[in-house]
Amino acid sequence: MYRYYSYSKINKIMFLVLVLINLFTYNWLTKTCIIDSKQVIGDSFSEEYDKMDSIFVTAINYAIPAIDIAFTSQGYTGKDLTFSSFLNAKVKNPINILKFQIPVLAQIEVKENKNLNIVIENSQNSVSEEEKEEKEKVTEEIKKQQDNEAQTVLENKNFDQPYLLIYHTHTMESYAATEKNKYEAKYGYDRTNDLNYTVAKVGDYLAEYLIREGIPVLHDKTINDYNYDKSYVNSLATVSKILKEHPSIKVTIDLHRDGYGAVMMPGVDSIPVLSKLPNQDFRKKYVTEINGEKVAKVSFIIGSRRTPEMKEDWRKNYEFAKKISDRLNKLYPGLSLGVQVKPYSEYNQHLLEKAILIELGSNYNTLEEAIATTKYLAKAISEVINEEGYSN
């Protein structure tokens, strides 16, 4: 009896010690990390590291894939790491967990989605044919006027030497599918190698509008993220090669989109209902209206990490991004979410003083909303470039 009591007491003490160790480890791992320039963290990882807030969450994600809460690309945004927060409401509906592991189960909600789409389509069809025709005429006239203005600009510019490069480290980042732009996700959630539905398509429009504004543009659509972990290594090689071939380039834009959770599941071609996505605050964060048209908001990312051999000053990148962000909000209030500085990455921005990363919308936006933003973004970029003394 005495021996049994001793072992029991020892077990309790050991249990308390383990709890204290776990609490200490958790607090230590979840504290804000100060990372100096000598610490090497891959850019692909560091981009997600900022979104997950701690190494502790990463460990959980790799250890328990079914929970899958590590990065915001998998749905984690807060610091509540209790077991109930891992599963949230999903614990009451195991189907939601299975849907992340077996994508075909995501089709359970397809019928409901289709019904909602029908309601939306019917409400749109209630607009009279005369109103539609009138609207189309006005749109056509505006387009003709813009084309004429663009042609006048192009005739006075020399585009043999590009001044601005648009490229994509995460070329396969895509948007929420619609009836007009329907696709099937591949190579992970909200991604596809069909560039008609990704940030590369948005880049096409941004390049076109910049050219109309008189800025010579080269748009590179190399897919750098077949191996996501090496995407920044690949894009660095891509951009370095282009800069050697085109020394006239003084501005680079790495065009991305932000992400939360998973909207487009691999192997599932259903159309998501935007009003039923789980985080409506995130949807609202990245959408606004200009002249009655829904457009995606924009954010700017600057990496301040520089190793000793990198002579370029990140503050110059920041100043350039800040000018564009401020001009965007001056022209179209609220369209820019501002500039964020990340201390653990350079995002290839050490290559040029005017190298920036732009997140245009998120996976909660449609491709149409992202494309609609490009004409406004091009206007702001071109004004800043021209004011800084660009001439061709």
pLDDT attached to residue 69: 39
pTM, full prediction: 0.65
Rounded distance between C-alpha atoms, residue 288 and residue 335, angstroms: 7
Asked if 302 and 314 count as a contact pair (C-beta separation under 8 A), the reply is yes
pLDDT tops 60 at residue 122? no
pLDDT attached to residue 142: 59
pLDDT digits (tens, 9 = 90+) for 63-107: 554 444 333 333 333 333 444 344 444 444 455 545 545 555 544
pLDDT tops 90 at residue 377? yes
Average pLDDT over residues 286-314: 93
Could you tell me which residues are beta bridge partners of residue 255?
Answer: 358
The mean predicted confidence, pLDDT, of the chain is: 76
In 3D space, the residue among 205, 342, 369 whose CA is nearest the CA of residue 286 turns out to be: 369
User: What end-to-end distance do the CA atoms of the chain give, in Å?
Assistant: 93
Rounded distance between C-alpha atoms, residue 189 and residue 261, angstroms: 9
From 34-38, 102-106, 355-359, the region with the lowest mean pLDDT: 34-38
pLDDT attached to residue 270: 85
For the chain, the residue count is 392
